[in-house]
Structure 1
Amino acid sequence: MTEDLLVDQSGAILTVTFNRPKQRNAMTWDMYQGLQEACERADADEQIRVLVLRGAGGEAFVAGTDIGQFTEFDGPRGVEYEHQISTILGRLAAVNIPVVAAVEGFCIGGGLGLASVADIRICNPSAQFGVPIARTLGNCLSIGTLSVLSELLGRSRTSDLLLTARLMPAEEAVQCGYVTTVTDDVDGELAKITGRLTNNAPLTMWAIKEGLRRLNGANEVDDEDIVKTVYGSEDFSNAVHAFLNKRKPQWAGR
């Protein structure tokens, strides 16, 4: 593991903490790898009954992937990246035990993807959810990620969030059913939920998760041409450098 990703087991609960608070817990490749390893650990140890995801610092869950890692991207690398993200989200979704995301502050981009494949989401009143790439980087999401968001938020709200690049506040997130609880006492609510889950029948919970996975399974759709076009564009390359230099991107549509 890395200092940027803390993994701690307390009894039957394995907690993964995204630990880059100064960068709003933006994910590095090593952090993604560490998360996959935590998933393997959760499934391999029968003493672990719940996997918890949270961000350090109280201001962000995860604010996407670290933008500095995008500077050398082109179309094929964008395709590879989206495949990597889909693999990571798929592995997290396939964890046999319940996964709880405790969101405080920003839950953006890749962070929204991670929270969305958790089984239960709670948040504090300052939480904000979204993928504002239409006004920041000019990249895109894979169809697999779009499918996850559409399933949880509905197609209309997903389109609204992505096309307008707005952030969804905590109140809206609970109203639409994306999160189960909004609370000032995230630690207390998390303790209640994990307490219930650790006392429930493991095979029953696995059967519920596996049944929902199969129910929500969809035929794969080839989106490589879409991803390659966007990540290979001048707009994306220019926007990455604009973001890193704290400038507003200029869109050319190519």
Structure 2
Amino acid sequence: MDEPELLVEAGGGVLTVTFNRPRQRNAMTWGMYEGLYEACEHADADDDIRVLVLKATGDKAFVAGTDISQFAEFSSGQDGVEYEEKIARIVNRLEDVDVPTVAAIRGFCVGGGLGIAAVCDLRVATRSARFGIPIARTLGNCLSMNNYSLLVQQLGPARTLDVLLRARLLTGDEAAAAGFVAELCDDDDLDSTTDGVVQTLLGHAPLSMWATKEAVRRIRRAAIPDGDDIVSRVFGSDDFHAAVAAFAAKQPVVWQGR
């Protein structure tokens, strides 16, 4: 019997969500996204939960984006708009969780994985972790305004442009230097370092931490403009459809800019 793609376990005041598709580098399916949403609901409904932790199975990736096979049926720009709305529903729900959220990151944290990590309150990562959204050299798609806002808030506009335009991945050390990673550790120390962060949070005043989270969330969302026209143009482009087909065929794509 196959193991669940998402594991959820409560204990000691902590709700732990584990992404569990190691052979696919924990690429997110819709079922996993919905499971993450339900875990957020669980965290807020259970008074015993004081911290939510996200982690992953295997040493290759935290989350390597959304499973690209789910893009194969896109036929118009509106499909892209609806996709980004679905992602925003999950990401915003994670941001809305009342208790502190911690992402424990080893390996690749890219695409949708970076969005999930970015919306967590604190990130613990190994030096071998890699962070980025290399869509400019892979699928030729774009992000929602919500996700651009997250990256600008967490990395700053200059570094966001560098990471996205050059499609490069930040090392663990670079992410820590940028302030994106709160605690950096060796590969073998991820669990113990994460536990140290969690234990600190468990000892702090819940309402003080909630107020800080809520204030930062409101500041970020208050400044988000509409961007559906951007998403529709890019997801409806010939380049995007050609790139999805090329990815499935393991062939290079020739960008046309249309």
TM range, smaller chain? over 0.9
Q: 1: distance between equivalents of 2:148 and 2:8?
A: 29
Give the aligned partner of residue 107 of structure 1: 109
TM-score, scaled relative to structure 1? 0.97
Instruction: Output the amino acid matched with 2:193.
Output: E
TM-score, scaled relative to structure 2? 0.96
Q: Does structure 1 residue 250 correspond to structure 2 residue 254?
A: yes
Report the Cα offset of residue 213 of structure 1.
1.6
Q: Does structure 1 residue 88 correspond to structure 2 residue 90?
A: yes
Give the aligned partner of residue 206 of structure 1: 210
Q: 2: distance between equivalents of 1:219 and 1:161?
A: 22
Q: 2: distance between equivalents of 1:136 and 1:146?
A: 18
8 Å contact 2:10–2:16 — kept in the other structure? Answer: yes
SS in 2 for 1:222: coil
Give the aligned partner of residue 228 of structure 2: 224
Comparing 218-227 with 34-43, greater Cα deviation is found at 218-227
What are the ranges of 5 or more consecutive residues in structure 1 without an aligned counterpart?
A: none
Q: 2: distance between equivalents of 1:231 and 1:97?
A: 35
Q: 2: distance between equivalents of 1:52 and 1:170?
A: 19
Report the Cα offset of residue 218 of structure 1.
2.3
CA RMSD after TM alignment: 1.0
SS in 1 for 2:26: coil
Give the aligned partner of residue 16 of structure 1: 17
Q: 1: distance between equivalents of 2:22 and 2:90?
A: 22
Instruction: Output the amino acid matched with 1:86.
Output: A
Q: Number of aligned pairs?
A: 253
Report the Cα offset of residue 39 of structure 1.
0.2
8 Å contact 2:132–2:168 — kept in the other structure? Answer: yes
8 Å contact 2:17–2:54 — kept in the other structure? Answer: yes
Give the aligned partner of residue 194 of structure 1: 198
Q: 2: distance between equivalents of 1:220 and 1:165?
A: 23
Give the aligned partner of residue 147 of structure 2: 145
Instruction: Output the amino acid matched with 1:100.
Output: V
Deviation string 1:60-107 (CA, Å, 9 cap, x unpaired) is 000000000000112111000011111111110000000000000000
8 Å contact 2:114–2:131 — kept in the other structure? Answer: yes
8 Å contact 2:149–2:224 — kept in the other structure? Answer: no
Instruction: Output the amino acid matched with 2:39.
Output: A
Stretches (4+) displaced over 3 A = none
What are the ranges of 5 or more consecutive residues in structure 2 without an aligned counterpart?
A: none
